[in-house]
Structure 1
Amino acid sequence: MDASDIRILSAASALPGPPVDNAALARRFGLDRLWEQWVDTFIGTGTRHLAVDLDSGEITSSLVDLGAEAGRLALERAALRSSDIDVIVFASATPDALLPTTVNLVAERLGINDIPSYQLQSGCSGAYQALALARQLLLARDCRNALVLGGDVLVKHFDLTIDMSKLPPAELVNMLLFGDGAGAAVLTRDKLPGTTALRRVVHRVTGEGRAPGQSVEWFGLADRHLDKPAAQEDYKAIEESVPLMSAEIVKEILDDLHWTEHEVDYLLPPQLSGKMAERVTETLNMSGAEEITCVRETANTGNAVPFIQLERVLPQMVGGDRALGITVESSKWIKAGFALERV
């Protein structure tokens, strides 16, 4: 079976609560109007969805809640039942717990049982890794349909009592860039007419000799009181590296498929921030491709991002249309991408 015969039947997403804009964040943390304008100008994220009520501190959604919601909607859109799924894969950097795994709790919510399940621990590239794994499993095993999910609940790393005005930039930026959410897609090996072929999925670790651009700690009982930040980010290093690495992965995919950039109809760029998406798009200079972006409304939702972009682009594609999805994970510098074609 040709690897390009794997098709995407549907995509869906789930976001917690109402959108929270920059003004609401500023009010909640006692920040001034200049701070709000700085976020709008230099970050470019307008709103995000958070799995916590900022006023009460109450957790409103878990990653399992969001994953199950996205998975259920993806199955409905694919016109499949839970019993039609032969393998399930979930990617996240922020699972609800170390054990039991989020993938198995989501499977239980969806009524999926007695099939192989896989959970990948990764940042923004995890969703691409999950798609690649599911694609290979459909090709190598006696499987017909796969449910692939990704998501993150990053608000768990926020300290709602902290004075944000005193945070160093490497910590503050994490509270501005990210939102919470989950997404899902249904893959099949059936050659159904009018569906979208997943032509390629690639991911490469390229971090040898490079310091991590982002770190997220996991605190256990022995170290939870240590004086170290839960998350921090080297945004300058990311600004320098992401556009270049995005161009590298685009070139690799296009060369592999013998496509030219002028034959790409849709571009799904990395969604670190609104400004970063603009910078990457300018660097790639694929003016003939329509940009599919979500970061200004959802912020960076980690492993949910590609599914939100897929949810937006799949209904727009018609016969012969081609799309490229690109991401760069800065934790230890992973570049990833996929190629789609409506057949």
Structure 2
Amino acid sequence: MTVIRAVPIGTGHYLPERVVENAWFTERLETTDEWIRTRSGIERRHFAAEGQKTSDLAIEAARAALADTGLQGSDIDAIVLATATPDQTFPSTATRVQHAIGMTSGYAFDLQAVCAGFIFALANANALIVSGQARRVMVIGAETFSRILDWEDRATCVLFGDGAGALILEAREGEGTSTDQGILSTDLHSDGQFNDLLYVDGGVSSTGTVGVLKMQGREVFKHAVSKLTAAGHAAMEKAGVTSDEVSAVVPHQANLRIIKAVAQKMNLTDDRIVITVQDHGNTSAASIPLAMSVARTSGRVKAGDLVLMEAIGGGLAWGAALMRW
């Protein structure tokens, strides 16, 4: 049976020029490089320059993805941009990207599911393509989390970084089997009862301020391992594949211990896991597309590879997606 698949055709990413090593924090907070590395695996991260906005990062990633595919902005039908740190309350950051890349028709919108944002955006982009509402969709994750950190909270401010990644999907015919190229399955979840585990203490209708990030790290860790494992298994079951068939895992780059714990529970060997957290920190919705772009550039992800992606963020919101390049 012939079906329409949303097939990945190119990636791109952008990191701000400023690199912040762990030593920067040890000079300002009561912490050590060893403490940060042991608990998170992070060695450095990138911070946006003064005046550099989330849209600036997203635009550079979008241009890199277009260059990777040889397309122009006018060839894109839709942009779905995942971010928890938009330029403005409205309009969407995606429309800024749309204008900057010369996309004069179609539509662009933001999606907010915090660190799980890219998985949710990917699922929405897939639906747009499968339903025939778009032929080519650019999915972007972009964040400037350095704007919402509490610099006196050593448990959280050392964990995050800024960056952007983009993936272009194109409608192509498949046979409706697990050997098809494209998105094979997605598995999305959220549960608002866990709101207070990871949130920002500000908002337009509550405080009228931006606020700063608050997190109960131990509780988030426990939920992350169990929920990501379950979502990963569900995505594979929906597609009719096993973990032995997965070529690469591109997880949300939040914490090395979470990444390894989930991989172990899913019987995925370390050599199949793409890890960039040591160099980028947690870039929230940007982390998966950023890591995916780095993996493709380095040859870790190639045509024909079956790739599992998974993420969890505030909400709690979490999910997984399975895609063949």
Q: Does the 8 Å contact 1:262/1:288 carry over to 2?
A: no
Looking at structure 2, the residues matched to 269 and 256 of structure 1 have their Cα atoms a distance apart, in angstroms, of: 19
- 1:121-161 Cα distance to aligned partner (Å, 9 max, x none): 220111111111111111223422111111111111236xx
**TM-score computed with the length of structure 2 as normaliser:** 0.89
Looking at structure 2, the residues matched to 80 and 229 of structure 1 have their Cα atoms a distance apart, in angstroms, of: 39
- Which blocks of at least 5 consecutive residues in structure 2 are unaligned? 175-179
Which residue matches 2:324?
341
Shift of residue 220 of structure 1? 5.2
Looking at structure 1, the residues matched to 147 and 249 of structure 2 have their Cα atoms a distance apart, in angstroms, of: 31
- Is 2:293 the partner of 1:311? yes
Tell me the SS of whatever aligns to 2:114: coil
Q: Does the 8 Å contact 1:146/1:186 carry over to 2?
A: yes
Looking at structure 2, the residues matched to 122 and 288 of structure 1 have their Cα atoms a distance apart, in angstroms, of: 28
2:311 to 310, 320, 327: 327
**TM-score computed with the length of structure 1 as normaliser:** 0.85
1:40 to 37, 41, 47: 37
Tell me the SS of whatever aligns to 1:256: helix
Looking at structure 2, the residues matched to 246 and 327 of structure 1 have their Cα atoms a distance apart, in angstroms, of: 7
- Is 2:269 the partner of 1:287? yes
Superposed structure 1 runs of 4+ greater than 4 Å apart: 1-4, 219-222
Which residue matches 1:123?
114
Tell me the SS of whatever aligns to 1:271: coil
**Structure 1 residues 315-324 or 107-116, which shifts more?**
315-324
Q: Does the 8 Å contact 2:93/2:109 carry over to 1?
A: no
Q: Does the 8 Å contact 1:323/1:341 carry over to 2?
A: yes
Looking at structure 2, the residues matched to 319 and 104 of structure 1 have their Cα atoms a distance apart, in angstroms, of: 31
Provide the alpha-carbon RMSD of the alignment. 2.5
2:248 to 257, 266, 277: 266
- Is 2:208 the partner of 1:245? no
Which residue matches 1:56?
none
The structure number with the bigger radius of gyration is: 1
Q: Does the 8 Å contact 2:138/2:166 carry over to 1?
A: yes
- 1:138-189 Cα distance to aligned partner (Å, 9 max, x none): 1223422111111111111236xx6x3xx4xxxx322111000111111100
| Higher strand fraction (1 or 2) | 2
Tell me the SS of whatever aligns to 1:186: strand
Shift of residue 208 of structure 1? 5.2
Residue 318 to residue 122, structure 1, CA distance change in 2 (3 Å): closer
Which residue matches 2:185?
200
**Structure 1 residues 280-289 or 15-24, which shifts more?**
280-289
Residue 223 to residue 319, structure 1, CA distance change in 2 (3 Å): closer
Looking at structure 2, the residues matched to 2 and 336 of structure 1 have their Cα atoms a distance apart, in angstroms, of: 27
Residue 112 to residue 143, structure 1, CA distance change in 2 (3 Å): same
- Which blocks of at least 5 consecutive residues in structure 1 are unaligned? 53-58
Which residue matches 2:48?
51
- Is 2:177 the partner of 1:189? no
Shift of residue 60 of structure 1? 4.7
Shift of residue 333 of structure 1? 2.0
Code of the residue aligned with 2:320 in structure 1: it is G
